[in-house]
DNA sequence: TTGTAGGCGTTATCAA
DNA sequence: TTGATAACGCCTACAA
């Protein structure tokens, strides 16, 4: 075939060249660079010297093809620009680098088909995957995991290595926090309906609201974004809600902006709680938010993958990653509703009554 | 040898498997995925269908060994969590994928040594680099560019392919905008002192301020961050500045927060201008900001690299990427200074007078 | 238009 | 301790 080298470029010296020059076999040269265990130290030195003179460097690609070890891992996320994922990536890539691995990045743009494609294409080039908040089915996840070690983040698939950012307890605490401040009508503005994270968060909010007898309204938001948050501000007001728990900080910020546009202030008129903790401290007002310690989560996920690479039997690990509620400036004591608004609302259940859940389209 | 697959992992289907299943030769399968020029369209369809059913994807590593082309590119940035870089990455990775390239990600954490190391290690596995806002020396950049095609973003190195996000004119317009609003004492809160971006922005602000006879104060901020912005809020107030131009939106947001903490409102008391445009619309108040159209910049950078891959002679391209000033809610008419403050300040030069530049540590 | 066959550079098995 | 040799999975010149 001889279809290379790209015109005028000298081809890099190969192992054969070094072997010839040093008067040994290719196998010996190979061993001089890899497992030099059973090699005569003198031979190693000779070979290394010749290699250095020729400027020989082992070809990573060929090595990978032969050994299956590429020194690469891949991180696949639904949206790089989401601060939560960005922070997670940062931790992941730092840890991977420390361990000597280079990292591929795949952005699936929230598209299951794209996610699937990325996983398939990358499989041959990586030793393992960290798949964050997958949008593909469990079946597909299993399919990919059968080919390469794979660590899930925020997805609950029995029998697989998974890191679950445990925001449930913190959301419960957030509800307590709001109840303590006197809020009786609260809302949960959801994220991707099918995602594990959203399920966990909503369940926690629902349970806690029930426990405290709060009136809870559910607002769906297909894609967690500033826009989605802003879009539901009006309904929030119409529903006479005095506090909103958002799926994440972006949504929360959208809510704040949407309310502001209608002259409703935070936290004066309405309290807002976010989640992630990446941008929460940098917004105005600073958001009361659940700190997911994203960077640490990224590191931990890669640690899990490294374990899996060493010992494939260590799959089926379920690691929960604790989170904290951080109270900042977007939550405050409930503001009594103007009488004219209150009159039009469903009756507020007493403290011991059960939660009334309403869904808004 | 048969030294793979790593225990219990299912091997991926190979070209041979597809060939057998489709009743054609391996060469035909190969052609169906590569140069299908001289292939019967029906054959191509059949092969592709079988491949899809089997979940076959060409093995990039093997392909690379044979062709010398890895199908990989690398993107190296100083900080993934910076929204500007995140958005740029998104565009870059999308475009790379469309062109059939997988993308490595390197986060140098603003550390020149790390950046250097990433470039060196990745070189063997990629066909080219996009290096964003490098922190290494020109000499080192040239060194790496000699090994692999390399496109620079926001770095001006003669003779190399580079994409320059041209914020200068927009900063000038921002100064005009502020001057038109009656501001006389303005500040520039800088980013990484040695970065090309910062140099360009500062130069533009300085020139425009001079032209309009504004009093300009320079505030350094080593790392562009919310914290850096907040940290200089107090000095901003002390200096009696009525408007601040920040290096980017994060710094701008920090300034807003720092001022708010001292009961100075934006834009009531002080106007603030940011840059990047990623988060500007989602802050409160929405930032008047320079929209760098980051995602498009990322796409353009990869396009440049693809050009370079096709035609190595096309280096030394200097592409400028236009930006826009977007006026939102963080700038307003200048507020007259309280007399007691004004009295303590350096005399305000008249419209025709030259700019007085002060530097604050 | 399709098949055959040899090679890309390395590592691992087996024998020496 | 070292050498010969067969893969790894794919691509492409050449033959058909």
DSSP string, A113-161: HHHHHHHHHHGGG-SEEEEES--S-HHHHHHHHHHS-EEEES---TTS-
Structural contact between residues A105 and B77, judged by C-beta atoms closer than 8 angstroms: no
**Stated pTM of the model:** 0.91
In this complex, is the C-beta atom of A258 within 8 Å of any C-beta atom belonging to chain B?
A: no
Q: Calculate the angstrom distance between C1' of D6 and CA of A128.
A: 28
Residue A356: pLDDT over 90? no
- The pLDDT tens digits for B265-277 are 999 999 999 999 9
Residue A351: pLDDT over 60? no
Q: Between A343 and B225, whose confidence is greater?
A: B225
Pick from B79, B87, B104: CB nearest A102: B104
- The residue assigned the tokens 């449930």 is A168
Residue B42, SS3 per DSSP: helix
CA-nearest of B342, B356, B360, B358 to B215 is: B356
CA atoms within 13 A on the CB side of B150: 26
SS (H, E, C) A196-239: HHHHHHHHHHHHHHHHCCCEEEEECCCCCCHHHHHHCHHHHHHC
CA-nearest of B312, B295, B333 to B146 is: B312
Q: How confident is the model at residue B129 (pLDDT cuts 50, 70, 90)?
A: very high
Cα separation of B99 and A69, whole Å?
26
In this complex, is the C-beta atom of B100 within 8 Å of any C-beta atom belonging to chain A?
A: no
Cα separation of A147 and A360, whole Å?
42
For chain A, give the mean pLDDT: 90
Report strand pairing: B243-246 vs A288-291.
Answer: unpaired
Q: Calculate the angstrom distance between C1' of D4 and CA of A18.
A: 17
Is there a contact between B281 and A93 if contact means CB atoms under 8 Å apart?
no
Pick from B10, B80, B256: CB nearest A284: B256
Q: Between A269 and A361, whose confidence is greater?
A: A269
Structural contact between residues A109 and A115, judged by C-beta atoms closer than 8 angstroms: no
Chain B residues whose CB is inside 8 A of the A226 CB are 281-282
Work out the burial of residue B193: count CB atoms within 10 Å of its CB; fewer than 13 is exposed, 13-18 middle, 19 or more buried.
exposed
Nearest CA in chain B to A230: B282
> Which residues numbered 317-346 in A keep a CB inside 8 Å of some CB on B?
none
Is there a contact between B93 and A72 if contact means CB atoms under 8 Å apart?
no
Residue B340: pLDDT over 50? no
Distances (CA, A) of B311 to A4, A7, B64, B141, B262: 16, 12, 19, 20, 57
Query: Could you give the percent of chain B with pLDDT greater than 70?
Result: 91
As a dihedral over the C-alpha atoms of residue A88, residue A94, residue A96, residue A99, rounded to 10 degrees, the angle is: -150
CA-nearest of B197, B241, B204, B200 to B219 is: B241
- The pLDDT tens digits for B67-82 are 989 999 999 999 999 9
**β partners of residue A185:** A215
CA angle (A106 as vertex; A68, B68 as ends), nearest 5: 50
Structural contact between residues A304 and A317, judged by C-beta atoms closer than 8 angstroms: yes
Nearest CA in chain B to A79: B90
Pick from B10, B72, B118: CB nearest A147: B10
For residue B85, the model assigns a pLDDT of 96
CA-nearest of B59, B47, B81 to B11 is: B59
Say which nucleotide is closest to residue A59, CA to C1' distance: C9
Q: Calculate the angstrom distance between C1' of D6 and CA of A65.
A: 14
Cα separation of B240 and B232, whole Å?
13
- The pLDDT tens digits for A23-43 are 999 999 999 998 767 788 889
Q: Is the CB of A6 under 7 A from strand D?
A: no
B-interface mutation test, from A100, A102, A330, most B Cβ less than 10 A away: A102
Cα separation of A20 and B207, whole Å?
65
Structural contact between residues A16 and A54, judged by C-beta atoms closer than 8 angstroms: no
Residue A61: is the preceding peptide bond cis (ω within 30°)?
no
Tell me what the mean pLDDT of segment A5-18 comes to: 74
Cα separation of A168 and A172, whole Å?
6
Q: How confident is the model at residue B7 (pLDDT cuts 50, 70, 90)?
A: low
Residues in chain B: 361
- Closest CA to the C1' of C13: that residue is B1
In this complex, is the C-beta atom of B133 within 8 Å of any C-beta atom belonging to chain A?
A: no
Residues 6+ apart with CB under 8 A from A128: A73, A74, A148, A149, A150, A151, A305, A308, A309
For residue A345, the model assigns a pLDDT of 53
Tokens of A111: 């598209």
In this complex, is the C-beta atom of A61 within 8 Å of any C-beta atom belonging to chain B?
A: yes
Helix, strand and coil content of chain B, in percent to the nearest 5, comes to 45, 15, 40
For residue B352, the model assigns a pLDDT of 37
- The pLDDT tens digits for A248-285 are 999 999 999 999 999 999 999 999 999 999 999 998 88
Cα separation of B43 and A287, whole Å?
59
Give the ranges where chain A is alpha helix by DSSP (H): 15-22, 26-33, 41-54, 60-67, 83-98, 112-122, 138-147, 168-180, 196-211, 226-231, 233-238, 249-261, 294-310, 339-343
- The pLDDT tens digits for A182-193 are 999 999 999 888
Cα separation of A105 and A101, whole Å?
13
Is there a contact between B105 and A107 if contact means CB atoms under 8 Å apart?
no
Residue B360: pLDDT over 50? yes
For residue A338, the model assigns a pLDDT of 55
Neighbours of B274 (CB within 10 A): 32
Residues 6+ apart with CB under 8 A from A50: A18, A21, A22, A56
For residue A1, the model assigns a pLDDT of 45
Highest mean predicted confidence (pLDDT) among A4-13, A106-115, B217-226: A106-115
Cα separation of B206 and B193, whole Å?
15
Q: How confident is the model at residue B193 (pLDDT cuts 50, 70, 90)?
A: confident
- Closest CA to the C1' of D14: that residue is A1
Cα separation of B83 and B297, whole Å?
13
Residue B239: pLDDT over 70? yes
Work out the burial of residue A107: count CB atoms within 10 Å of its CB; fewer than 13 is exposed, 13-18 middle, 19 or more buried.
buried
Q: How confident is the model at residue A340 (pLDDT cuts 50, 70, 90)?
A: very low
Pick from A79, A102, A125: CB nearest B61: A125
Structural contact between residues A259 and A229, judged by C-beta atoms closer than 8 angstroms: no
């Amino acid at each position: 075939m001889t279809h290379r080298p790209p015109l005028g470029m000298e081809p890099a010296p190969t192992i054969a060249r070094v072997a010839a020059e040093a008067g040994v076999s290719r196998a010996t040269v190979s061993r001089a660079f890899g497992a030099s265990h059973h090699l005569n130290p003198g031979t190693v030195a000779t070979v290394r010297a010749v290699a250095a003179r020729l400027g020989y460097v082992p070809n990573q690609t060929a090595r990978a093809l032969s050994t299956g070890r590429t020194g690469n891992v891949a991180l696949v996320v639904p949206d790089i620009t989401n601060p939560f994922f960005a922070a997670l990536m940062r931790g992941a890539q730092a840890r991977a680098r420390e361990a000597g691995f280079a990292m591929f990045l795949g952005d699936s743009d929230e598209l299951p088909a794209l996610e699937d494609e990325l996983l398939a294409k990358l499989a041959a080039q990586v030793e393992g995957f960290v798949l964050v908040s997958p949008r593909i089915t469990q079946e597909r996840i299993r399919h990919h995991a059968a080919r390469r070690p794979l660590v899930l983040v925020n997805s609950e698939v029995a029998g697989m290595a998974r890191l679950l950012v445990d925001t449930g307890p913190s959301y419960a605490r957030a509800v307590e926090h709001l109840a303590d401040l006197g809020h009786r009508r609260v809302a949960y503005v959801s994220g991707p309906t099918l995602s594990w994270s959203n399920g966990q968060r909503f369940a926690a909010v629902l349970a806690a609201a029930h426990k405290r007898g709060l009136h809870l309204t559910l607002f769906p938001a297909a894609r967690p974004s500033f826009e989605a948050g802003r879009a539901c501000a009006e309904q929030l007001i119409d529903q006479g809600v005095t506090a909103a728990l958002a799926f994440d900080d972006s949504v929360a910020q959208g809510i704040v902006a949407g309310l502001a546009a209608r002259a409703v202030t935070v936290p004066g008129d309405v309290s807002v709680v976010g989640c992630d903790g990446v941008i929460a401290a940098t917004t105005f007002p600073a958001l009361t938010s659940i700190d997911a310690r994203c960077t640490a989560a990224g590191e931990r996920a890669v640690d899990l993958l490294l374990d899996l690479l060493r010992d494939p039997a260590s799959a089926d690990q379920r690691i929960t990653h604790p989170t904290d509620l951080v109270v900042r400036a977007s939550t405050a004591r409930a503001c009594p509703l103007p009488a004219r608004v209150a009159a039009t609302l469903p009756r507020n259940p007493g403290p011991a009554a059960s939660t009334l859940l309403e869904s808004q389209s």
